[in-house]
Amino acid sequence: MSNEHTPLLEIRNIKKDFFGNQVLTDINFRLEEGQVLGFCGENGAGKSTLMKILFGMDVIRETGGYEGDILLNGQKVTFNSPFDAIAAGIGMVHQEFSLIPGFTATENILLDREPQKKSVISEIFGNRLNTLDRKEMSVRAEKAIDRMGVRIDPKMVVNEMPVGHKQFTEIARELSKDQLKLLILDEPTAVLTEKEAEALLDSIRGMASRGIAVIFITHRLHEILSVCDNVVVMRDGFVVKDVPAKDTNVEEITRWMVGRSVENAGSDSASVTDAGSDSRETIMKIEKLWVDMPGETVRNVNLEVKKGEILGIGGLAGQGKLGIPNGVMGLYEAGGKVTFDGKEIPLNSPRKCLDASLAFVSEDRRGVGLLLDESLEWNVAFPAMQIQNKFLKNYLGGLIKWRDEKAIHEVTQKYIDELQIRCTSSRQSAKELSGGNQQKVCLAKAFALEPKFLFVSEPTRGIDVGAKALVLNALKKFNRESGVTVVMISSELEELRQVCDRIAIVSGGKIAGILPAASPSEEFGMLMVSNVK
């Protein structure tokens, strides 16, 4: 890399904030023709945002644009839309498929760029009535599939394909664009079987040898090492490392990914861990749990939760950590055996769990957690009213259970004060609150049940720093003062280490290991990627 040489892509000092929340800071890297660049980092490290900037996605412009420069072949470029990026030779394969299910691979590969034939009708009525040149289409599709180096049937209809082939169809579509110089692959191997992933890696090598630069984002670190020339590690919006792949190893990368000074975290929870959680009795025992939750499949979880502790469950996205509470609480189909307080809890029945004094704060705040159109009073009091007959007045010997508005108002007001929920009154509707305050309402709802055991799933997702601290403190206080066992699921390891006594890491739908919160982060990192499939 001599100084006079201009790289294919150069990123200079890219900065981006979402409404004051800095997500990318001073990003710099360069990419040569035919090079493969591996990108890794924890969820929320800023990888996706960076790729969105690079691909000119609308979100970026709508949220105030970005600072810094993108240079393509030494020229500064600004993409106002993905179309600009495509015209400039950038292709992107997204995590979610964007294919038309009823079309064949060929049709999908060449969608909107089909070779056309003129006919009598189109001569009269214009080009919009040209017919498709099917022969030429299959020739071009074949060519793209050949370039990819993996065989897929160009005539197969997309909805009949295995997942892997859909992924390859997407890649072939990008490759069929003649101007393609840079291909971005966002976790392409996440849905592939091992064999397919191997084939994909081969095809990446093949593309690189033909001069196409590839940016490869993945959580599977060994893939990066086997295929990439350079590795860029991101954390909290910074590029923490940019090294040649041959000079590093999986351990090092994981340390860079999760690292941060080990000392400052976990310090205040260390004392609790010393109390010796092993000696405490087990309050919940989960055996051979499987949960069929789309995107968060749990395969075989065995876990023991001690009475009175805060247990953290961490892990990368899609590994199944969210499936555990959703499965135990009966919101998704599950199997296995869950024993709580000496009694077995039937799965697939939310009511039975709630009756057993379990409570759950869902990660899907707006979808499951709240009655958006109803008042805060309803939101806070509803489950307690339905499950425990609280806040009701009985008439005619219990035949009529009348809603006790006054009691509901009081309890809501209590939690509004306690959790500092910012609202105009307890009668305000839930949808008018900010994300952080909505989260507090969800907590209040669970607290009002006065449970013995609380699942909290992603309690700080999408809320600001101030609210985050408040929510975490409220959970801690609830645990310490009421003696409630709390299991907290979060993608943010740092947050778990602040709050929890022990942290279980889920990987590949199984518990990869349980460590005290004060363990060094690289150990957590190793567990996170241990079973990634």
Partner 1 sequence: MEETKTKTFRDRIASFVESFGVPRLIIAGFLLALFIAAPFVGADLPTQISNTINRFCWNGILVLAMVPMVHSGCGLNFGLPLGIISGLLGATLSIELGFTGALSFFAAIVISTPFALILGAGYGWLLNKIKGGEMMIATYVGFSSVSFMCMMWLLLPYHSPNMVWGLSGKGLRTTISLEGYYNQALSGFLRIQIGNFSIPTGALLFFAFMAFCMWAFLHTKTGTAMTAVGSNPSFARAAGINVNKIRMLSVIMSTWLGAVGILVYEQGFGFIQLYMAPFYMALPAVSAILIGGASVNKATIMNVIIGTILFQGIVTMTPTVMNNVIHMDMSEVIRIIASQGMILYALTRKSEGGKS
Which residues would be at the binding site for partner 1 (CB under 8 A)? 329, 331, 350-351, 353-355, 360, 362, 364, 367-374, 378, 382-383, 385-387, 389, 392, 400-403, 431
Rg (CA), the chain: 27
Closest to partner 1 by CB, 72 vs 384, is: 384
Min dist CB 320 to partner 1, Å, is 20
- Label the pairing between strands 116-117 and 213-217: unpaired
- Ramachandran quadrant class, 284 (left: phi over 0; alpha: psi -120 to 50; beta: rest): beta
Min dist CB 379 to partner 1, Å, is 8
Min dist CB 374 to partner 1, Å, is 6
Closest to partner 1 by CB, 229 vs 374, is: 374
d(CA 77, CA 79): 6
Q: How open is the CA angle 366-372-375, to the nearest 5 degrees? A: 140
**Host H or E run for residue 145:** helix 134-148
DSSP 368: I
Task: Answer yes or no: are the C-beta atoms of 457 and 363 closer than 8 Å.
Answer: yes
Min dist CB 53 to partner 1, Å, is 30
| Amino acid type, 272 | V
Tell me which long-range contacts 317-320 makes (C-beta under 8 A, separation of at least 24).
317/43, 317/491, 318/190, 319/506, 319/507, 319/508, 319/509, 319/528, 319/531, 319/532, 320/291, 320/293, 320/296, 320/506, 320/508, 320/509, 320/510
Closest to partner 1 by CB, 22 vs 434, is: 434
Closest to partner 1 by CB, 64 vs 462, is: 462
Closest to partner 1 by CB, 191 vs 371, is: 371
Closest to partner 1 by CB, 125 vs 402, is: 402
Closest to partner 1 by CB, 164 vs 369, is: 369
| Amino acid type, 236 | D
Min dist CB 418 to partner 1, Å, is 21
Tokens of 79: 């993409």
Closest to partner 1 by CB, 299 vs 401, is: 401
Min dist CB 60 to partner 1, Å, is 25
**Host H or E run for residue 454:** strand 453-457
Min dist CB 449 to partner 1, Å, is 9
Tokens of 530: 């241990």
Min dist CB 445 to partner 1, Å, is 8
